[in-house]
Amino acid sequence: MSWQQPFRELNPKVEELMVKVLEEGKGAGPSPEWQTLGSVTRLDCHNPLCQRGGVDLHHTLREMVATRRAELETVKMCGGIEGGGSSAAPRHCLNRFAFRISLAYKAEGDP
């Protein structure tokens, strides 16, 4: 299936993908720092209570490739739900992801 293929295989015009992320919130540590993740298309949430969380970058990356945008810096909230357990109702995870995406494109005419 296409979602299992590496990003560069699906986007032959891209030479390199680099993602850097800063996660803030539960499980992110007391003093969050920028981390270089390399060629990833999903940011995982580190909140131990979060279920199905994180940020999917596929849509953002597709838009960048379609417009040949080289860099993007933005912030998104985690898409997961904190399990409430027996004493609290479930709620949206409040972890926040600041991320920087850099794409390097192959020169026109390169295979």
Q: What is the pTM of this model?
A: 0.79
Asked whether residue 88 carries a pLDDT value surpassing 90, the answer given is no
- Kindly report the number of other CB atoms within 10 A of residue 81's CB atom: 15
Mean pLDDT of 63-68: 91
**pLDDT at 76 (0 to 100):** 96
Please tell me which residue, 1 or 77, carries the higher pLDDT value. Answer: 77
